[in-house]
């Protein structure tokens, strides 16, 4: 369940929040929960109906009287464009606010790609997808994820060292200007963690999501919200230094987790055997190649040592692993073995360690969920219906 909604307890936005958390409900059940007079409730519901924020979901039999119409939040009528921009790939999709994907395209990106080109390519593809799905008219927001940190105040990115052109890019402004809708930015591992949380049905439990693709990052969902920390760097485990390790990292230091156990590090280690890309690693592991299995398992074990500490401190119910390399069985098994061996015993009581079930779509689902929480927040809804 979502945390209990806050805000003016009788506003239209609050009613929608109750429907999101507890719906579908009949009008009478809503009245009982919120304590509004019938005329005020009718007025609020009319406003929500006018903006297509609620929908009727069927009838509930009631004792004695007529069956009552049930109402739910309408998270399927509005559309978001979401894009996960990575170091070597970008995926862009048209989704509704529930996270249903109507169309998506995954494009390779050149190493060291520049924002200008990537930006116009994404925009062209996004417009094309909106036209193809017939959902351009219901577009209400854009959600974008990138590796590295986000300056949420400025709407800019603080990119990882492998994306040197992406620091200080005014991503929010550029997409807002192009599409004239609100734009929300999120770190890719935070979006992945939030996608895993949404896919689990938004449980009332803490969740740690870990993304191991080209780089490594983690995200936290606590009390139903992405926990970003004081400088939006919560979960940046990739550049924790491991004592006694000397591998050079792209950040300029030595011995970082990312330099030893990221997809890029795995590729580097397997290069003498002919591996060039993350896809090569995936193919070889699936084919049972002994070198590829050994190296990915060792990487998983190293990430597991860091996560044992994270699990002990956060004490989550779920530890969800995603990313092309993270979901490979040798990586995941190595990670799980070390977490279970090293974390505090009581922190392991009932913890679920597993792969993100939605695979590469987990980040897109997370962006859809984050956009939904922003667009359907009580204050946002009240501003909309009173505009």
Q: Is 242 in the site for Zn ion (CB under 5 A)?
A: no
CA within 13 Å, CB half, 371:
33
Q: Which is nearer to Zn ion, 88 or 239 (CB)?
A: 239
The least CB distance from residue 254 to Zn ion, in Å, is 8
Of the candidates 61, 54, 68, 63, which has an alpha carbon nearest to the alpha carbon of residue 23?
A: 54
The residue among 55 and 239 lying less far from Zn ion, judged by its C-beta, is 239
Q: Is residue 260 involved in binding Zn ion (CB under 5 A)?
A: no
* 316 Cβ contact list (under 8 Å, min separation 6): 205, 206, 207, 208, 220, 351
* Of 30, 81, 169, 249, the one binding Zn ion by CB under 5 A: 249
Q: How far is the CB of 211 from Zn ion (least distance, A)?
A: 16
CA distance 71 to 16: 10
Distance CA 302, CA 305 (A): 5
On whether the CB atoms of residues 281 and 263 are closer than 8 A, the answer is yes
Nearest to 126, CA basis, from 173, 177, 179:
179
Which of 113/239 has CB closer to Zn ion? Answer: 239
Give the residue with the Cβ less far from Zn ion, 239 or 301.
Answer: 239
| Shortest distance (Å) from residue 250 CB to Zn ion | 6
136 is written with which tokens? 């351009």
Residue 44 or 239 with smaller CB distance to Zn ion: 239
C-alpha of 130 from chain center? 21
The structure tokens listed for 72 are 């739910």
Q: How many chain residues are in contact with Zn ion, going by CB under 5 A?
A: 4
Q: Tell which residue, 11, 6, 9, has the closest CA to residue 381.
A: 11
CB of 233 to Zn ion, least distance (A): 13
Q: Does 93 bind Zn ion (CB under 5 A)?
A: no
Q: By C-beta, is 216 or 275 nearer to Zn ion?
A: 216
Select the span of 224-232, 238-246, 315-323, 334-342 touching Zn ion (CB under 5 A): 238-246
Does 256 interact with Zn ion (rule: CB under 5 A)? yes
- Residue 239 interacting with Zn ion (CB under 5 A): yes
Binding site for Zn ion (CB under 5 A): 239, 249, 251, 256
């Amino acid at each position: 369940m979502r945390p209990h909604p806050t805000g003016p307890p009788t506003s239209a936005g609050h009613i929608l929040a109750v429907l999101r958390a507890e719906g579908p409900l009949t009008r009478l059940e809503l009245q009982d929960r919120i304590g509004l007079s019938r005329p005020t409730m009718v007025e609020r519901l009319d406003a929500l109906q006018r903006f297509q924020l609620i929908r009727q979901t069927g009838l509930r039999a009631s004792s004695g009287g007529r069956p009552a119409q049930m109402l739910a939040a309408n998270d399927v009528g509005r559309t978001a464009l979401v894009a996960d921009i990575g170091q070597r790939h970008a995926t862009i999709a048209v989704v509704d606010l529930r996270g249903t994907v109507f169309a998506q395209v995954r494009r390779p990106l050149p190493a060291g790609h520049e924002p200008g080109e990537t930006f116009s390519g994404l925009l062209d593809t996004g417009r094309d997808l909106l036209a193809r799905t017939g959902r351009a008219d219901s577009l209400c927001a854009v959600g974008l994820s990138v590796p590295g940190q986000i300056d949420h105040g400025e709407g800019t990115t603080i990119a990882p060292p492998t994306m040197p052109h992406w620091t200080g890019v005014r991503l929010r402004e550029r997409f807002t200007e192009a599409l004239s809708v609100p734009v929300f930015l999120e770190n890719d591992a935070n979006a992945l963690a939030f996608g895993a949380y949404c896919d689990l049905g938004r449980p009332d439990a803490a969740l740690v999501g870990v993304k191991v693709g080209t780089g490594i990052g983690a995200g936290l969902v606590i009390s139903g919200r992405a926990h970003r920390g004081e400088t939006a760097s919560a979960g940046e485990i990739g550049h924790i230094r491991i004592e006694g390790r000397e591998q050079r990292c792209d950040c300029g230091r030595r011995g970082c987790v990312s330099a030893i156990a990221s997809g890029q590090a795995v590729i580097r280690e397997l290069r003498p055997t002919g591996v060039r890309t993350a896809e090569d690693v995936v193919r070889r592991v699936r084919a049972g190649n002994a070198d590829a299995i050994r190296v990915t398992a060792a990487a998983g074990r190293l990430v597991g040592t860091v996560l044992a500490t994270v699990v002990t401190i956060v004490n989550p119910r779920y530890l969800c692993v995603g990313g092309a390399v993270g979901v490979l069985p040798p990586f995941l098994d190595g990670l799980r073995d070390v977490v279970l061996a090293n974390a505090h015993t009581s922190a392991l009581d009932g913890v679920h360690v597993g792969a993100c079930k939605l695979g590469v779509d987990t980040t897109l689902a997370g962006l859809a969920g984050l956009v939904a929480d922003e667009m359907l927040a009580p204050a946002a809804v009240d501003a909309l219906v009173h505009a």
